Structure 1
Amino acid sequence: MSNTSSHERQRLIFLIASGLSTAGSFAGLTAKGWILMDETKEPMVLALHFAALSLPTMLVSGPAGVRTDRVGCERVLIQAQWALLGAGLLGAFSIPVLDGQPQVLMLLASTLLVGIAGAYELTARNKYCALLVDDNSELAPFLTSFSVVFNVGKLVGPLLGGLLITLTGPATALTLDAATYLMPIASVIWLLHPRTELEMRSAPGEKASLRVAWRECGSNLRHALMFTGLMCVVGFFHPGLGPLIAARELGDAPMDLAIFTSVLALGSIAGGLLLQRNSHRFCRRPSLTLAGFALVTAVAQLGMAIGGDAPFLLTMTLLIGAGTAGLLSSSNLITQVGSSQTLRGRMAGLGQIAFLGGGGISGLIAAVLTDTMGLQATFAISGTLGVVLALLEICRRGGTVLNEVRSV
């Protein structure tokens, strides 16, 4: 078997293992979200739950990127996957042995640890992907394939989580979440053979810092990161308030939350497929791509503010999923293919700070607005700001062109 076909098989294995793990993760997050909604009925608790998952990126994504570029992506990837397994088991352990506020705190702690370990895992995985391709021209399609597989897992996971909660209770969903982390661990340790000899690591000292990566990545990538972060602060709050939005618009049963989350995932798949089929072309026009996806999200949020029957609201939910997935995936794609190999770990860390850190802040802001002004007013404010910022970006920088870095 040729080396090329061997790498193709390994990429497929990595995609499948990651997809199965993602499905388990979203089953667990659905279970946690429903438990917190059922126990507290508080939007701020739901926002804190998403913040516990996303805000650690603001503190640890930088060190994760530095460590990945210094010691190697495979080593960091394996360590992060073991840490994810432990954090998942902590959440599963809380269901049978705790109740009330201690259980809520343990679930939040589990999600916090998942957020910390996940920051290292995603940072290392981005750089690891470049070691499974034979030519750098294959990197963009491979990275966008990860986005599609991730969103398929995001579609299947909530449905599975809602079904497991209904039939067997949340403990089963959380146990499944923890168990699925074993799949990518096994694939990386025993099945995959990346071209680690080609990995370029940063030298120790000042040149390995996040600040140097920010300075050396270039003005186009810096602007892409700043715009992504800004748009996430403005409008990426639905992961945190998902249980509340589903309860207000559809119903408060576990399957209502599963349907809402799965429609978001269907939109995410659509956005990911659009990006995958146009990966090189979309990379060339970073501002137009990012602002276009942001505009779709903002218009859909205005639709949610207007309101309507269930089919209309689910259509708007679908568009929110497509717009946000396209924004986050294209930001990751642009910063990876537009940077050199020695910077890719740190660029992945900076990307996480932008979209997950921004999303965590967005959830907290939206929770306060929802408490004081209502959910529809929150959608109206977010959508209006998003439309204005996206149109300004298109007008000012829509013609910006980015050249892909050709070295693996």
Structure 2
Amino acid sequence: MTLDDYCARPGAWRGAGERPSCPIPLLSANDLDRRPRHDLAMFGGKLWRDREFLKLWGGQGISELGSQVSQLALPTVAILLLHATPFQVGVLAACEFLAFPALGLIAGVWVDRLRRRWIMIACDAGRMLALGSVPIAFAFNALTMPQLYVVGLITGVGTVFFDVSYQSYLPSLIARSDLVEGNTKLQVTGSVAQMAGPALAGLLIQLVGPARAVIADATSFLVSVLSLAWIRRPEPSPKPAEGAAPTSFWSEMREGVQFVFGNATIWKIAGSTSTANLGSNILFAVYLIFAYRVLRLSPGVIGVVFGAGAVGGLIGALSASWIARHIGLGPTLFVSILLGGLGSILIPIAQFGYAVPLLLAASVITSFANPVYNINQVSLRQAITPDRVQGRMNATVRTLIWGTIPVGALIGGVIGSTYGLLPAIYIGIVVETLAGFWILIGPVRLREQPQPA
């Protein structure tokens, strides 16, 4: 799991809680300009001395490393072992994200009603069991595409509730003034995992096969469960706003939707991210098939491409706050979301030669853009949202932005099966690049900062 909302793939896979009822000032968007220097945000800062944050950080770092294995191993199982078609690979990708449009808003209400840490523990345990079934079925020669679809659905449901809880839990674990530092540390860890994980995944797949390699991810979820259970800082009990009358489940859900669409900054960022995810998943639905069957690359080489590309993600995460401070928040969001689409142009060019260098370059560029965009937009959303609706805000936004992922995967699979792999790749690049339009028309397009909601 990462804190990413925008999946600038390939090379980058898919980063806010209840306070006591006493009045606590929100961190204004202007405070984002007083964010720590990019080097201090990662290598310095007081969160290094916060043992409870370190538990969360360490557990999620290991979990993210394991997830990089499944990212490559599950579609490789489908393509190389089960000989899946482009459409079947698209369906598999869609299953992982179908839960967000189906359950995202519901998850937001429950996350604001229940203890978020225990939701996260339950989700990690469920995903561990689902992924563990893959090598077991393979050992008995019973592994099928329908089982992979079910595994994708179960892990998707777990990811929905975990991610909404995760983003909503962070501001209750650390001070709001430390959000950029915390998000930077989490994003950098994700980038390091993206750098080392795919190479590890490629090596494991080469050594033990793609099905057995999934054991690594199942084990990483177990580590995450233990690290979350180890956190001792009390989580404030969920409470409605002072003086607020009891509300129904549906009215709480509606409040979250109304908050997002009533805040121009948030819904236009959601529109940009949704468009980018739609395009990137049209492309990624056929990317591995293109790499394996057209470019004739091995899983080990693909792992190296993904891992080396994540070096760009690490650089992007370290420089995200520095870039925003020097060129402004709006220009940073626009340039990074645009770069994520334009970098993918190198992928279809790889068919003419120099495939590995071109895929490496595409992966580095898109992986650099991803955390630059995510750190700034996630921190901004967290900062301008009242604590009592953090879960519902995150759920509503993620319903929108991750809801386009299964749609993109299915569109990519259909185009790839009907018209060929290259048309799907080109269409995905065009759609992803158009995501910058939302930033241009939005209130974050210039240097000015919106006021807190």
Query: Could you state the TM-score of these two structures normalised by the residue count of structure 1?
Result: 0.86
Q: Does 1:260 align with 2:305?
A: yes
CA shift in 2, pair 1:236/1:312, >3 Å: same
1:224 is aligned, of 269, 273, 284, to: 269
Q: In structure 2, give the amino acid aligned to 1:246.
A: A
Q: Percent identity?
A: 19
Contact between 1:228 and 1:290, CA under 8 Å: does it hold in 2? no
Map 1:238-387 to 2 at 5 A. 238-248=283-293, 250-277=295-322, 285=329, 287-307=330-350, 308-310=353-355, 311-387=357-433
How do 1:130-141 and structure 2 match up within 5 A? 130-133=171-174, 135-141=175-181
Q: Which stretch has the larger CA shift, 353-362 or 390-399?
A: 390-399
Name stretches of at least 5 consecutive residues in structure 1 with no aligned partner.
Answer: none
Shift of 1:116: 0.6
Q: Tell me which protein shows more helix as a share of its residues.
A: 1
Query: Deviation digits for residues 248-273 of structure 1, max 9, x if unmatched?
Result: 56434221231233244333333333
Q: CA deviation at 1:236?
A: 3.7
Q: Secondary structure at the match of 1:40?
A: coil
Aligned to 2:446: 399
- Please, which moves more after superposition, 325-334 or 256-265? 325-334
Matched, 1:32 2:74: yes
Residue matched to 2:149: 108
- Measured after TM superposition, the shift of residue 367 of structure 1 is 2.3
1:272-322 Cα offsets, whole Å, 9 max, x none, are 33325457789x73x544332221022112333444523133202221223
Does the 8 Å contact 2:107/2:395 carry over to 1?
yes
Q: Does the Cα contact within 8 Å between 1:228 and 1:331 map onto a contact in 2?
A: no
CA 1:84 to 1:392, structure 2 compared with 1: closer, same or farther past 3 Å?
closer
Is 1:54 the counterpart of 2:125 in the alignment? no
Quote the Cα distance in structure 2 between the aligned partners of 1:405 and 1:7. Answer: 29
Count of paired positions: 397
Structure 1 SS opposite 2:305: helix
- Is residue 304–residue 376 contact of structure 1 (8 Å, CA) maintained in 2? no
| Bigger shift: residues 88-97 or 4-13 | 4-13
Contact 2:279–2:430 (CA<8 Å) still a contact in 1?
Answer: no
For 1:404 and 1:247, the matched residues in 2 are separated by 49
Q: C-alpha displacement at 1:339, in angstroms?
A: 0.8
Q: CA shift at 1:145, angstroms? A: 2.1
Letter in 2 for 1:360: P
The 5 A counterparts of 1:74-85 are 74-85=117-128
- 1:121-132 maps to which residues of 2 (within 5 A)? 121-132=162-173
What SS class does the counterpart of residue 196 from structure 1 fall into? coil
Seen in structure 2, the aligned counterparts of structure 1 residues 75 and 322 have a Cα distance that, compared at 3 Å, is same
Q: CA deviation at 1:207?
A: 7.3
Would the alpha carbon gap of residues 362 and 67 (structure 1) be closer, same or farther in structure 2, given more than 3 Å must change?
A: same
Q: Does 1:151 pair with 2:196?
A: no
Amino acid at match of 1:344: Q
Q: Secondary structure at the match of 1:209?
A: helix
Q: Is residue 193 of structure 1 aligned with residue 235 of structure 2?
A: no
**Does the CA-based 8 Å contact 2:65-2:196 persist in structure 1?**
yes
Q: After superposition, give the CA deviation of every residue in 1:207-240 in whole Å (9 maximum; x if it has no partner).
A: 7633211212422112211221122213344554
Aligned equivalents of 2:317, 2:451: Cα separation in 1: 20
Matched, 1:17 2:59: yes
Corresponding position: 1:45 with 2:88? yes
Task: Tell me, in whole angstroms, the C-alpha distance in 1 between the residues paired with 2:366 and 2:131.
Answer: 28
- CA spacing shift, 1:237–1:278, aligned 2, 3 Å: same
| Unpaired runs of at least 5, structure 2 | 1-45
Q: Following the alignment from structure 1 to structure 2, what is the Cα–Cα distance between the partners of residues 88 and 158?
A: 17
Distance in 2 (alpha carbons) for counterparts of 1:404 and 1:132 = 24
Q: Which amino acid aligns with 1:68?
A: V
In the other structure, the counterpart of 2:8 is: none
SS of equivalent residue, structure 2 residue 214: helix
Match of 2:280 among 217, 229, 235: 235
Q: Report how far residue 50 of structure 1 moved.
A: 1.4
Q: Distance in 1 between matches of 2:308 and 2:89?
A: 19
Letter of the aligned partner of 1:162 in structure 2? G
**1:90 Cα deviation from its structure 2 partner:** 2.2
Shift of the alpha carbon at 1:55? Answer: 2.0
Residues 209 and 139 from structure 1, CA distance in 2 versus in 1: closer, same or farther, beyond 3 angstroms? same
C-alpha root-mean-square deviation of aligned residues, in Å? 2.9
Question: In structure 2, the residue corresponding to 1:197 is in which secondary structure?
Answer: coil
Question: What is the rounded CA distance, in whole Å, between the counterparts of 1:214 and 1:400 in structure 2?
Answer: 27
Q: CA deviation at 1:119?
A: 1.0
Corresponding letter in the other structure for 1:183: V
Task: Please say which of residues 397-406 and 155-164 is displaced more in the overlay.
Answer: 397-406
CA distance in 2, matches of 1:198, 1:274: 36
Q: Residues 116-136 of structure 1: CA distance to partner in whole angstroms, max 9, x if unpaired?
A: 101111111112111221x31
Shift of 1:113: 0.5
Tell me by how many angstroms 1:14 deviates.
1.4
Give SS of 1:399's match: coil
Instruction: Decide whether aligned partners of structure 1 residues 296 and 350 sit closer, same or farther in structure 2, where only a CA change above 3 A counts.
Output: same
1:87 maps to amino acid: A
Contact 2:272-2:437 at 8 Å conserved across structures:
no
Change in Cα spacing, 1:357 to 1:265, as seen in structure 2 (3 Å) is farther
